[in-house]
Amino acid sequence: MHDKKILLKESDIPKQWYNIVPDLPHPLPPFIEAETGKPGVGIVPKIFPKAIIGQEISQERWIDIPDEVREVYKIWRPTPLYRAYGLEKALKTPAKIYYKYEGTSPAGSHKTNSAVPQAYYNMKEGITRVTTETGAGQWGSALSFAAGVFGLEATVYMVRASFEQKPYRKAMMNAFGATVYASPSMHTESGRKMLAEDPDNRGSLGIAIGEAVEDSLTSEKTGKKANYTIGSVFNHVCMHQTVAGLEAQRQLAMVDDYPDAVYGCVGGGSSFSGLFWPFYYDKVSKKAPKETSFVACEPTACPKVTRGYYTYDHGDTAKLTPLVPMHTLGHDFMPAPIHAGGLRYHGIAPTISVLAQENKISTLAINQVDAFDAAKIFIRSEGIIPSPESTHAIKAVCDEARKCTQTNTSKTLLFALTGHGFFDMTAYDEYFNGKLQPYEYPAEKVAESMDKLRKLYPWLNDVTKQYITPCKQ
């Protein structure tokens, strides 16, 4: 009988994170300050600890994980790598399917991998409160837990649509000691402005980020400085997530296997990055035993790579952040209230944008009904209820496995199961009752947002052409 789970010991938890930046096809374009149209980091030094800024701009390939962080990681790491025998049987495929399951963490998702070091570095620099945004509530839950571990207060701005869809996520954050506001809120100037314009505003990650950043920036007036923390997109967050991919490499080696393809859902891109970056390093360092493809799976309701523009844009709706080089739908993007709340972000990690533009990774857009169709097969064959976000990767893997059946080809497929869906049963209830809609974000709305962005910054095209080459126009 073959083992279902491939397990590591606590001593096998990685001692270093892998940083992809020195191995990218070309250097990352710089951030741009909105006031000048010139390279600059804007408010970044005012809202992040120095250690995090150092990691964000680091050119070092390997960065040590502090012992204190590894001790906290031991609560749930190493996480299991599963061989999906049940799914393989259900699909009648010769493909071998593996999934790295991050749902065993205290918050129930991969987000805790970065929340712990971010809370740790803030604590080390004397910060006593941290602020953040959250979409589906996974990042907010993770930061709430991590802040509590290191004695920090946490203030979380949760996208209103998810706040209402997932009330027990708020309860979970409260249980860990956090204060949670539905965003847009009356707690910040940017939130009050949004509600004045639309009292029924359902929120977006861009709005919530703006509120959390504003809270951090204005906190010094209270005499109690708070720092901002971010759950995806930035290099340091993606790097923290590589504990998953590094473990997966070792686990696959234990069964003498290696992936032909690595899949992950993408919102900001951190969970996918965390899984595929180490395999990408194998590839560029010529250590990989075979050619491996990397497949990002995004929702048709928020298709920033497949339908967005690779240009400069703010990371938040309030336009407080510097302009970030990334694929974007526009910082004013207002998502449909799909249930994959963690994927409803208008932009994506600059590293993923570079790799997508250079065809080092491929991207699929998947509608939520098709994703839940695949999730149903997965649940009934594997016994785990996946987060709505992860169902997009499951759909892509199932499609590839079926192709293997048609061609009688055996491939090894690896995907990130980023967390469980226990707080998302409303989504499953709507799916099983036929109420879920296969929403597709209109290309016209993307074009409208880009027109607004160019009018806001007349120099945008010139700056984009200067630093992002080639650029989709």
Position 473 scores a pLDDT of 38
What's the rounded Cα separation, in Å, for the pair 215 and 227? 9
pLDDT tens-digit map of 174-204: 999 999 999 999 999 999 999 999 999 999 8
pLDDT tens-digit map of 204-250: 888 999 999 999 999 988 888 999 999 999 999 999 999 999 999 99
Q: Is 466 helix (H, G, I), strand (E, B) or coil?
A: helix
Helices (H) and strands (E) in the chain, counts: 19, 17
Position 195 scores a pLDDT of 96
Whole-model pTM? 0.95
Fold (topology level) of 5-15+76-108+242-456:
Rossmann fold (3.40.50)
pLDDT tens-digit map of 456-470: 999 999 999 999 965
pLDDT tens-digit map of 327-355: 999 998 887 766 666 787 899 999 999 99
Q: Domain residue spans in the chain?
A: 5-15+76-108+242-456, 34-55+111-228
Q: What residue ranges of the chain have pLDDT lower than 70?
A: 1, 337-341, 469-473
Fold (topology level) of 34-55+111-228:
Rossmann fold (3.40.50)
Nearest to 275 by CA among 304, 251, 241: 241
- Over the chain, what is the mean pLDDT? 95
Q: Give the chain's length.
A: 473
Q: 10 Å Cβ neighbour count for 177?
A: 14
What's the rounded Cα separation, in Å, for the pair 469 and 163? 39
Question: Is the fold of 5-15+76-108+242-456 the same as that of 34-55+111-228?
Answer: yes
Position 361 scores a pLDDT of 98
Position 45 scores a pLDDT of 92
What's the rounded Cα separation, in Å, for the pair 412 and 402? 13
Position 43 scores a pLDDT of 87
What's the rounded Cα separation, in Å, for the pair 456 and 8? 52
Position 136 scores a pLDDT of 83
